[in-house]
Amino acid sequence: MEFKVENGDGIDSWKEVTLVYSAALRQMETKMQILNDEFQHVHQYNPIEHIKARIKTPESIVKKLKRYGQESTIDNMVKYINDIAGIRIICSFTSDIYRIADMIRDQKDIQVIAVKDYITYPKASGYKSYHMIVSIPVYLSDRTVDTKVEIQIRTVAMDFWASLEHKIHYKFEGDAPESIKNELVECARMVSDLDARMLSLNEEILAISQKREEEKQLNSVTSK
């Protein structure tokens, strides 16, 4: 897949696009792993279950540019396509989603460009996820390239639902039967209920654990 070459923010070939955006993804992954390790050290808890990263294919980029009514140039790719580099962060509980988003915002070298909160405001299909478009500097030998990365943060249950919805979308080329669409919406409600119940259960477990630890410390003091 060939792209016409213009100035492209200092990026002038598909190979260089791959280099720069892959570097941005590696930086984001490393940042998230460090934050996860720190959280484990401080709170004895990992908010991040796992991380998925990918570079959008040239074919997908061309299709998106056509939908936007833009020519297939490197310049337009960098300017108009926000998800060339994509990272998906999977966590256990909905509360982790906002905690992780806040940790990303607090990174001094990350600029948040846009946010879409599909947790608070789900799509009509039932889709839930927290999306961020950020810019992260990639330091090359002769220049720094501010590079956009799309971050999706969701629970394990949300990711399972989204994966199935994605497969159905492509299977029916975006025109699935109403019965399947309705079933997906119902499944989304079940996923939302499961996430809420699991969060509540986890909070109850933490409360009991904290109470037992406090009682243990009290008993230790009184026994002296």
> Rounded to an integer, what distance in angstroms lies between the CA atom of residue 129 and that of residue 119?
5
Which amino acid, residue 153? I
Check: pTM over 0.75? Answer yes or no.
yes
Which amino acid, residue 1? M
Provide the β-strand partners of residue 85. 55
Q: What is the pLDDT along the chain (224 residues), one digit of tens a residue?
A: 444 445 445 556 888 889 999 999 999 999 999 999 998 888 788 889 999 999 999 899 999 999 999 998 888 999 999 999 999 999 999 999 999 999 999 999 999 999 999 999 999 999 999 999 999 999 999 889 999 999 999 999 999 999 999 899 888 877 889 999 999 999 999 999 999 999 999 899 988 988 888 888 877 777 66
Calculate the alpha carbon distances from 216 to 43, 187, 203, 211, 220 in Å.
Answer: 19, 43, 20, 9, 6
pLDDT of residue 42: 85
> Rounded to an integer, what distance in angstroms lies between the CA atom of residue 151 and that of residue 89?
7
- Label residue 126 exposed, middle or buried (CB < 10 Å: 0-12, 13-18, 19+): buried
Secondary structure of residue 151 in the 3-state scheme = strand
| Cα atoms found within 13 Å of the Cα of residue 82, Cβ hemisphere only | 14
> Rounded to an integer, what distance in angstroms lies between the CA atom of residue 10 and that of residue 16?
9
Assigned token pair, 150: 């799309």
Count of beta carbons in the 10 Å neighbourhood of residue 82 = 17
pLDDT of residue 3: 45
> Rounded to an integer, what distance in angstroms lies between the CA atom of residue 201 and that of residue 81?
40
- Helix ranges restricted to H, 44-93: 58-67, 74-80
pLDDT of residue 8: 45
pLDDT of residue 1: 42
